[in-house]
Chains A and B, each alone.
Chain A
Amino acid sequence: MMHLRILQAGPMVTVQDRGRRGLLHSGVSGSGPMDTPSFRIANALVGNGEDMAALEFASAGGTFEVTEPVRFAVTGGDVDIRIDGSAVRPWESHNLFPGSTLVVGGLRSAVWGYLAFSGGIDTPLILGSRATHLRTGLGGHEGRCLRASDLLPIGCLDPTPHLALTKLWRRSNRPINVVAGPQDDYFDASAWRTFLGSSFVVSSSRDRMAQMLDGPVISACRGNDIVSDGTTFGSIQVPGSGRPIVLMAERQTTGGYPKIATVASIDVPRLAQTPSGSAIRFRLISQAAAEALLVAERQALQDVMTGLSEKTEPMSVAQEVAL
């Protein structure tokens, strides 16, 4: 069996797939990637099906080896990637041979990166998914972040052409779209003016579960306790501190703080990828508008993945510069 050996791991490298589905009523949240489009593009670049697992890393990847030849691709942002010291580009596929060392360095202007291998990371399915849920130690590799000397199985896949992303996938500084509710009525007009009229700074208090925001305090005129109800990826809770918390991929499935609004699905990855210390603003849109944006974006992502261009010869940056 083919294996991936971790020689050195970044601060938070986990196995992720599309996430767990159908277990919300049993208290299991989806987990899965923080930036789903980047994750899906990484899989597509190495010819993987969309149900296959890849590695997600925060800020920096690590050092890796394989026991048999595989293709790999790194996505999520601009990042320094080296095979035996030679630089190669993100957002396209490359070969990695046994005896070579792959180093995935730090992400620039992004937070979450994806490292996919052809054949996919083949750890066991737990409750129907390979996604790691760190807080409950579920799935992935022993339910935890990867560390040096871990050995992970890689599945087999017939070779497909080397692929590259020709156009950068979605980067913009427009405001983060939100849909009001479900507890928008816990906040009066003044709180809403603060929420929509101010900048918030993406705090360094963040993980796969939640993202804290710094900025003006938002007060709930009807209090900060509700009878616990369901949460979703992008729910914006406002606890008593008045400091908003955006729930992310590994959120708890229910919560007892009022939720002023929900980040539109298309902007959740953009928020996840916003570096700590950066300012964001929110813009209110209707549920119908957010739905239309999501449906359109899914099509755009599909187009990107089917339109990946074939690389005739995998080429390192050094080789390209030499030309």
Chain B
Amino acid sequence: MAEMFPRIRACGDSMLSVELADYIDDDVNRRIIALFDELNRNPIAGIEEMAPTYRSLSVIYDPAITRGGALADVLQKRLQALSVTDTSSRCFSVPVVYGAAVGIDLDALARMKDMTTVELVNLHASAEYRVYMIGFAPGFAYLGGLPDALHTPRLAAPRQRIEASAIGIGGKQASINSVPGPSGWRFIGRTPVRLFDPYRTPPFLLKAGDRIRFRPIGEAEAARLDTMVAAGQTVLEPEAA
């Protein structure tokens, strides 16, 4: 049975999920973020907060102010009237030390792909990525735009601890880890940049819709950036348009 989208689903008594598709797609994600931005600009009474994901928008509401049924009708109308422009998205150049202790899978991945590590690094750093969503953990960035040749299934058994700086590949997705933890993704490098630091202003550097390029750096520059990051500097600034 073919699915009918968009559809708005109940998630209990205080959340709706506005689903535009059940697959990963750039245009779908652009529409989700456009809806998120639209609802931030022109709020609907009763909505407490929202979270855009790859293909859906989670909408948390207070049932004492609006009921899910009525809110779904209003959201449908907003969706129909939605115009999608993403001229506001920012682009960042993320410095990466490829390989070494955190990039544990770089060499094996290059062999698996029948490339040299230099070719793999150049391919990874040649693409423009897009932040599809921030989710799972604080500041964790799910990136779209990974070149087809780098798509790699996750490990059968996750590793127990991967560092907060790790640059990963999981299936068709790329990522920048924001907190340490277990992961079944493959890791090819690390960045001195901290996407999440609760003691820094701002605590989060990226948001859904941002664009990213990876910039290979050497250990010397990484050490310099590490020192700046340790001093609480953000290091990462959007590139001039």
Interface string of B120-136 (1 = CB under 8 A from A): 00000000000001111
A219 interface contact, C-beta 8 A = no
Chain A positions within 8 Å of B52 at CB level: 25
Other-chain contact of A232, B14, B23, B136, B140 (Cβ < 8 Å): B14
- Asked if B22 and A227 sit within 8 Å, CB to CB, the answer is yes
B19 surroundings in chain A (CB, below 8 A): 182, 229
Give the residues in chain A near B48, CB-CB below 8 Å: 21-22
Chain-A contact segment, one of B97-105, B109-117, B202-210, B216-224: B202-210
Interface check A226, CB cutoff 8 A: yes
Complex: A250 Cα to B182 Cα, angstroms: 16
B31 within 8 A of A: no
Once the chains bind, are A227 and B55 in contact (CB under 8 Å)? yes
Bound form: Cα–Cα A24–B139 in Å: 10
Stretch from B4-12, B75-83, B88-96, B230-238 contacting the other chain: B4-12
Contact A227 B11 (CB under 8 A): no
Task: Report how far A179 CA is from B17 CA in the complex, Å.
Answer: 13
Q: Report the Cα distance A182→B72, complex, angstroms.
A: 14
Q: Does A181 contact B (CB under 8 A)?
A: yes
Check B49 for interface membership: any CB of A closer than 8 A.
Answer: yes
| Chain A residues whose CB sits within 8 angstroms of the CB of B17 once the complex forms | 181-182, 229-230
In this complex, what residue of B is CB-closest to A263? B12
Which of the segments B59-67, B145-153, B155-163, B186-194 contacts the partner chain? Answer: B59-67
Q: A193 in the interface, Cβ–Cβ < 8 Å?
A: no
Interface assignment of B68: CB less than 8 Å from any CB of chain A: yes
| Chain A proximity of B6: nearest CB distance (Å) | 13
Residues of B within 8 A of A288 (CB): 67-69
For A290, the chain B residues whose CB sits under 8 A away are 12-13
Interface residues on chain B, size class: 35 or more
Q: Is the CB of A26 within 8 A of B63?
A: no
**Complex: how many Å from CA A298 to CA B208?**
34
Known: A135-B181, A254-B133. A287 touches B51 (CB 8 A): no
| Residue A294 interfacial (CB < 8 Å) | yes
Contact across chains for B11 and A230 when beta carbons are under 8 A apart: yes
Flag whether A93 is at the interface (Cβ < 8 A). Answer: no
Contacts of A234 in B (CB 8 A): 12
B10 touches A262 (CB 8 A): yes
Q: Are B69 and A287 in contact (CB under 8 A)?
A: yes
* Measured CA separation A31–B24 after assembly (Å): 29
> B133 to chain A: which residues have CB within 8 Å?
228, 254
Give the top 4 A-B pairs by smallest Cβ distance, nearest first: A230-B58, A262-B12, A254-B135, A290-B13
Residues of B within 8 A of A (CB): 9-15, 17, 19, 22-24, 36, 48-56, 58, 60, 63-64, 67-69, 133-140, 142, 178-179, 181, 196, 198, 203-204, 207-208
Q: List 25 A-B contacts (CB under 8 A).
A: A21-B49, A22-B48, A24-B58, A25-B36, A26-B134, A26-B204, A27-B135, A27-B137, A27-B140, A127-B198, A136-B137, A179-B13, A181-B10, A183-B9, A227-B54, A228-B135, A228-B136, A229-B55, A229-B56, A230-B51, A232-B14, A263-B12, A287-B68, A293-B13, A295-B63
